[in-house]
Chain A
Amino acid sequence: MALQIGALARRSVNRTLRQPAQLVPSLVFPLILMAINSAGLGKATEIPGFPTDSYLTFALAIPFIQAGIFSVSNAGSDLARDIETGFLDRLALTPMTGLSLVSGQLAGVLVLGVIQGVIYLVVGLVAGADFEAGLAGVPVLLALALAISFAFGCIGIFAALRLGNGEAVQGLFPVLFVFLFLSSMALPRDLIEQDWFQTVATYNPVSYLIEGIRSLFIDGFDGQALALGFGFSLAIGLAFLAAASATLRTRLTRT
């Protein structure tokens, strides 16, 4: 099985890195949105209780989540294309297992997740953001970025297997952005004035992914924020992985 996963992972990584149309937007758009947010919402740091005097530092967590949302699209579209073109049938005629397929298929977005994490960190630091966790925090940050890519990648895989076509998977993109906007993306949860918004943000798991990343930039090592960030990432990933495995049994109908 390791051989199968390795072969499929290699294909997934090659395919991801050879599609500039997938690669470039997922690297550039989050940085553009971060720049706009930082420029327009800088005054928010003057609100009493705001955790940092640099909105850039506060906002630097957002690209990591946006990158995750791109993972849904990238992982899902690639698998949906395999279903549509019959490539999945080619794979189904080999002794490949379902677990190999899903694991291998995720490799591309995981590698991309690490690349994105490194680029966002470097761009952020060059632009003047703080990174309180220091050098020791870099591997933790990349591990959390990886976990977030895993979570969203599993959503993409599940969606592709369930829906079976690329357009439908792409349709999830705006839906997931709603989750991002209804989180603690723009303000810390305790500073959100509207009760309903605060409640939604509190129940929205995306808030905890953002806060996990954000804690490394603002607080250093906040055990609770990191535990919640990793915990929710893995919980989302594993839940959708299980759902994808169940759906795969229907999709990969071999006798």
Chain B
Amino acid sequence: MPAAIEVNGLVKEFKKGPRAVDGIDLRVEEGEIYGFLGPNGAGKSTTVHVLTTLIPPTSGEALVAGYDVAKQGAEVREQIGAALQEAALDPFLTGREHMRLQTALQGLPRAERTSRGDELIGRVGLSDAADRKVGGYSGGMKRRLDLALALVHRPRILFLDEPTTGLDPQSRTALWEEVEGLASGDGVTVFLTTQYLEEADALASRVGIIDDGRIVAEGTPATLKAEIGEPSVEAVPADPGDRERLAGVLARFGDDGDCPRSTPDAVAVRLARGDGGLADVVRALDSEGVAVQHLQVHAPSLDDVFLAKTGRSLEGQGAGAQEDGVPDEREAA
């Protein structure tokens, strides 16, 4: 069965900028939610812009719905919907007017335009606000309208570029439910970029982790976390002079060689017996008289995967930020 999205050796290099996408390969199956996870500036949005035909690739091949994004742009656009970063809406138009514009530009038959628009506005819970100007919408309402507009022509594949950035938890959860419904109920393939670990974990059936334009890990969230292995324990001694003694005690319970959480202040080891060994760790520290200021067990997370692959933590790098913009090479020369 052909993939919904198939990318081989995709490169995007901007004229006056960096190599934003540096030879990525990926395959997204029909009906799948694929999470594209990475920090700001990793190349997520650039990849989406290439896959949605908005910018041409420098080299490599990308097929979306079986069509080549570089040569069959119009065919690709017929098959896809996209809600790009920063819901691009006109603050002077109402939600319903946006829908009217979108249904007309997508060429829906006149008889279907109003009913389809009303159906989608209702689906994203904006019926009561449909006749209000979008300038007065909250961030969550704008994102939901953006999603509804992307669905007007019943696309097979949906690209969502950081759909929940800046949203409050309630709006984020509502949008997650909608996206899940699209994939499970309507069979839409979803390509979702995010910088939120929990979003990728909760929504995506498979995750690709991108850093510096390259995919550093790919698989289901469970597989990726299993690759990391057992939980780790991290401890900070109450007296900084006890760091070596603390390291000696913790070394009995696991190996610190594959646990990159250790810092000049903290010692961390991956527990050989899983988190069941924590009680033994506490007893050993107590019997050796090593007082600790902070002791924490970390279950493997996608952040651990990112940390293991790049040596950096993803958490805190992008929270609340507005992600990587796509350099504009379309400025008229």
Contact = CB atoms under 8 A, between A and B. Distances in A.
A43 B25 CA distance: 78
Interface of A: 3-4, 6-8, 10-11, 14-15, 18-19, 85-87, 89-96, 161-162, 164, 247, 250-255
Interface string B307-333: 000000000000000000000111111
B190 interface: no
Contact of B106 (A95, A162, A164, A250): A95
B93 interface: yes
Interface of B: 52-56, 69-71, 73-74, 76-78, 80-82, 84-86, 88-90, 92-93, 97, 100-102, 104-107, 133, 149, 328-333
Please list the 9 inter-chain residue pairs (A to B) with the smallest Cβ-Cβ separation, ordered nearest first: A7-B104, A86-B88, A255-B73, A94-B105, A87-B88, A18-B92, A255-B53, A15-B92, A247-B332
Nearest to B106: A94
Contact of B101 (A7, A19, A252): A7
A88 to B, nearest CB: 8
Contacts of B85: 86
Contacts of B101: 7-8, 10-11
Nearest to B153: A94
Tell me whether chain B's interface is mostly helix, strand or loop, or mixed.
loop
Given A14-B93, A161-B332, A162-B332, A86 B86 contact: yes
A255 B97 contact: no
15 contacts: A7-B101, A7-B104, A7-B105, A11-B93, A14-B97, A86-B84, A86-B85, A86-B88, A93-B53, A164-B328, A250-B332, A253-B329, A254-B53, A254-B73, A255-B69
A250 B333 contact: yes
B52 A93 contact: yes
A15 B90 contact: yes
A162 B53 CA distance: 21
Contacts of A96: 105
Contacts of A161: 332
Given A7-B100, A7-B104, A255-B71, A19 B54 contact: no
A93 B73 CA distance: 9
Contact of B84 (A18, A89, A164, A253): A89
A93 B90 contact: no
B7 to A, nearest CB: 14
Nearest to B69: A255
Q: Which of B54, B92, B330 has the most CB of A within 10 A?
A: B330
B198 to A, nearest CB: 26
A255 B80 CA distance: 14
B93 A255 contact: no
Contacts of B106: 94-95
Contact of B332 (A10, A89, A251): A251
B56 to A, nearest CB: 5
